[in-house]
Structure 1
Amino acid sequence: MESNKVEQLLEAYFEGATTLLQEEQLRTYFKGSNVAPHLESYIGMFSAFALAKEETLDVPIQLPKQKKKINYRWLSGVAAVAVLAIGLAVQFINKDNDNEIFTTYASEEVAVQKTKQALGFMGKMFSESTAQLGTVKEFNTTTSSFFKQ
């Protein structure tokens, strides 16, 4: 093989652009006896590749046992069904007690009065909190005029 062609193949080989056939041509060239003197330094490299290709490992490889993975999606589905079943069971058990009204007051009039007081208190608190929103509105107009400039 010509020295120029071998140099081109070597350059392509080191760039990783050779085919398997071209690599085989390089191996056979460097195994032969008529290697160009300036390419003799590559003989050792290609002979080492040939030796490495013949080496084998006779010891069997033992892979560690893999732990069994738990399918959490399936497990979460089972948990959801269990919660649903418990919820439905509680509803059916308490179905008999739905007609009873549970109160903590002695009479309905007291309960109505306490409810009116609680709603009045909530209305008063709501009115006070909305009065404070005027300050927030003023803050918004101040910052918006600052950023417009």
Structure 2
Amino acid sequence: MEFDRMEALLEKYFEGETSIDEENELKEYFSSSNVAPDFEQYRPLFRYFTEAREQKFTNNVSLISKKPKALWLSIAASVVVLIGVGAYTYFNSMETEKESKELGTYDDPEEAFEATQKALAMLSTNVNVGVGGVQYLQVYEVTKDKVFVE
């Protein structure tokens, strides 16, 4: 009878469905000397719970402030970030100066005029391609209005 009861309680325990009273009953059973041989494997588990409850924390923890280290670490990190940002800005500004000198400056007015004409021709070609696509949309709208008459 007790074997069947303990087996059912163990099954409920491992499913996580036991109450506090049932868990206490299991702890008492496994701390006693008359445990069934089939349940001997569970004895160390419940013995651990009993021993763990009796353990007390006895170590003294010294509270050492680590703020000075954190302060110096944050200052060093800030300096590294500032150096990185300064170096990036310095080298980036040198590159933009070179690019600005090379782009869009012509000494000869005729050469500038030819470059402008090329740019406008390219723009005109691309805009005309886009207008052709819009015309297909207009044909679609007309056809749709014919099919779906309100």
TM superposition score category, shorter chain reference: 0.3 to 0.5
TM-score by length of 1: 0.43
Higher helix share: 2
Q: With structure 2 as the length reference, what TM-score do the two structures score?
A: 0.43
